[in-house]
Chain A
Amino acid sequence: MNFRLLVSISGSLLLARLKQTIVAAVGVTFSITMFVTLLSFMSGLNDLLDGLIVNRTAHIRLYNEIKPSDFQPINLSASFKSYHNFISSVKPKKERLQIYNNAVIMDFLKADQRVSGIAPKITTQVFYNVASIDLSGVINGIDVEAENKLFLFQDYVTDGNYIDLKNTPNSIILGKGLAAKILANIGDIIQITTAKGERMQLKVVGYFQSGLQDIDNAQSYASINTTQKLLGESGTYITDIQIKLKDIALAPELAKEYQKLFDLDAIDIQTANSQFETGSSVRTLISYSVGITLLIVAGFGIYNILNMMIYEKMDSIAILKATGFSGKDVNQIFIGIALTIGIFGGILGLILGFGLSVAIDHIPFNTAALPTIKTYPINYNPRFYMIGAVFSIVTTYFAGYFPSRKASKIDPVIIIRGK
């Protein structure tokens, strides 16, 4: 009863100053709109940029690295255990890049509950022969289907069909930049030379475009069988196992585990691409600070308008108090006004923010670097809307708090006697 009465008084005061109320609400609406849009857009952009790496990079990569052995023979000798051994001119040991016994490892990984999928890979250096010129580059031998399933391979194949790589023997998909350099069209036969001097002719079945120039200018894809043939290796030869996890956050921990278990080198995505995470978090931080600044500015607007309203309504407040409304009631009336402005402005802001996001989502955005992107990216994460809603209420509450407290402390005697 009391609550309803206070609400109706708040409402009447609001309607009496409709214009100012609307101005205040528009301030909130504008800031919430910008907050939601900014975060959706920024987050969409982050996802896009992260996706460039994350979608196409294994969460964990198992491989053999050529490096000096951590243990030199002298360290194994019992008699020199308590000595400091200085060894100079250490060289990397001769080690094959092949992962031994990879079929067993892959079976084990497939059975692991934390792993969502694996794809074997061979990476090898080659020369692309164009007339008398040799261009150096890299061929990735991939299991076409597994690669497509885990890393969305087909999204990056801009010309030709990715599956031809599997179905056509001795075929290759060239990086777009590379193809332009060596003037190879789809259907052409190109010749390559391996590091060991083997020559082979491959048929171009498509181009791919990753968005990273360095990759597009030097790399190409072939099937695992073709690559094994190219290297003159058996059907069990692979150099990398790429692992995708169900939870990317487990990658560093699991990488260590696998490294120990299989006696291989393992690198996780967080270690390999730490700069992306930093970039994303800084961008997110900036968008949040801009959004919150907007809200605080809107809060000052509400504060001003309420302050003015309280000066104007001094008499009304005095008479309300004289006729039995307590300071708390008066406080609630003005908090009610502030929250009404906040809630209506906020809801409208969320709707407009969604609308603006949708509009941005439809603006064409074509860039050669990003073949799969046709419009500006937007992330419609409900979290932004939640934060926006909570913030609009919290800021308006605080903007209303101080003027309301002032109103509740007004002494009716002073005003009434002052007449």
Chain B
Amino acid sequence: MDQIILEAKGVSKYFHDPITVKVLTDVNFSINRGDFVSVIGKSGCGKSTLLYILSTMDTDYSGHIIIDGETMRDKNEADLARVRNEKIGFVFQFHYLLNEFSVLKNVMLPGLKLGKYSVKEIEHRAYEKLKILGIESEALKKPNQVSGGQKQRIAIARALINDPLILMGDEPTGNLDKKNSEIVFDIFKELAEVYNQSLLIVTHDNEFALRTDRIIEMEDGRIISV
């Protein structure tokens, strides 16, 4: 059960513009399958930066990121895209749904990209994810016809479509009111407990963090407690 799925080894990062600033200093930690981890820290401490490095979207860092036993260091852009597609689900502060497509198609897109299942199968799976999140009745609407809380849930469904190793969130409740934040947290909790989904959530909401299994606290680009 204690299988390591994500590991950071000596990760450092600099911002060079306008002056060189060290934003991450020798970050080391690992996440096991099924962990529900939150990352907290003050604004500007580098927690989002760390998350983007972990998600493989930011490749300008030193050190090693190991996902599912493979280092991300020597992969090219297309391979990294494949890793993101297959192994990482992402939920942002903003939902980033494509208004051109229906809710269902939005959820299906990463699955279609992966191409592991037939279109029918992906559609079926997308419905199941929407059902877990309690919004299957909105499936055929356009994203701009549903409420903000529902949008965020659709984004979570999209992140889950390929059964990722880990679900990452960058302040996923940051734009939501109390009630909707509660719903999203409950969903995360359910995913972790019922479906054994690993989660790594960056937040500045301490109340949210306290209810997760594990808290990583950051300050000035370093991890101060794991």
Point out residues on A near B: beta carbons under 8 Å. 1-2, 5, 9, 12-13, 15-16, 315-316, 318-329, 411-413, 416-417, 419
Closest CB in chain A relative to B90 CB, distance in Å: 5
Kindly state whether residue B109 has any CB partner on chain A within 8 Å. Answer: yes
8 Å CB contact of A323 from B52, B58, B99, B158: B158
Contact B96 A315 (CB under 8 A): yes
Kindly state whether residue B9 has any CB partner on chain A within 8 Å. Answer: no
Closest CB in chain A relative to B109 CB, distance in Å: 7
Contact A319 B98 (CB under 8 A): yes
- Interface of A, secondary structure class, is helix
User: What chain A residues lie within 8 Å of B77 (beta carbons)?
Assistant: 326-327
Contact B115 A1 (CB under 8 A): yes
A5 vs B85: C-alpha distance when bound (angstroms): 14
A100 vs B81: C-alpha distance when bound (angstroms): 87
Per-residue interface assignment for chain B, residues 55 to 73, with 1 indicating a CB less than 8 Å from any chain A CB and 0 otherwise: 1011000000000000000
User: What chain B residues lie within 8 Å of A412 (beta carbons)?
Assistant: 57
What would 14 A/B residue contacts be, using CB atoms closer than 8 Å? A12-B98, A322-B84, A322-B96, A323-B110, A324-B82, A324-B110, A324-B113, A325-B113, A326-B77, A326-B78, A327-B78, A328-B78, A416-B96, A417-B48
A416 vs B58: C-alpha distance when bound (angstroms): 12
Contact B112 A419 (CB under 8 A): no
A358 vs B56: C-alpha distance when bound (angstroms): 59
User: What chain B residues lie within 8 Å of A15 (beta carbons)?
Assistant: 100
* Interface pairs A-B: 3 shortest CB-CB: A324-B85, A326-B81, A319-B96
Contact B115 A324 (CB under 8 A): no
A298 vs B168: C-alpha distance when bound (angstroms): 45
Contact A5 B112 (CB under 8 A): yes
Given A1-B112, A5-B113, does the pair A321, B98 have CB atoms closer than 8 Å? no
Closest CB in chain A relative to B204 CB, distance in Å: 15
Kindly state whether residue B7 has any CB partner on chain A within 8 Å. Answer: no
Point out residues on B near A: beta carbons under 8 Å. 48, 52, 55, 57-58, 77-78, 81-82, 84-86, 90, 92-94, 96-101, 109-110, 112-115, 158-159, 162, 170
A326 vs B110: C-alpha distance when bound (angstroms): 12
A329 vs B80: C-alpha distance when bound (angstroms): 13
A321 vs B98: C-alpha distance when bound (angstroms): 13
8 Å CB contact of A12 from B55, B101, B158: B101
Closest CB in chain A relative to B207 CB, distance in Å: 23
Contact B90 A323 (CB under 8 A): yes
In the complex, which residue of chain B has the Cβ closest to the Cβ of A322?
A: B90
Closest CB in chain A relative to B85 CB, distance in Å: 2
User: What chain A residues lie within 8 Å of B81 (beta carbons)?
Assistant: 321, 324-327, 329
A412 vs B88: C-alpha distance when bound (angstroms): 15
Contact A2 B90 (CB under 8 A): no
Contact B84 A324 (CB under 8 A): yes
User: What chain A residues lie within 8 Å of B97 (beta carbons)?
Assistant: 319
Contact B115 A2 (CB under 8 A): yes
Contact B100 A16 (CB under 8 A): yes
User: What chain A residues lie within 8 Å of B99 (beta carbons)?
Assistant: 16
Contact B57 A323 (CB under 8 A): no
Contact B52 A2 (CB under 8 A): no
A12 vs B112: C-alpha distance when bound (angstroms): 15
Given A321-B57, A413-B57, does the pair A12, B100 have CB atoms closer than 8 Å? yes
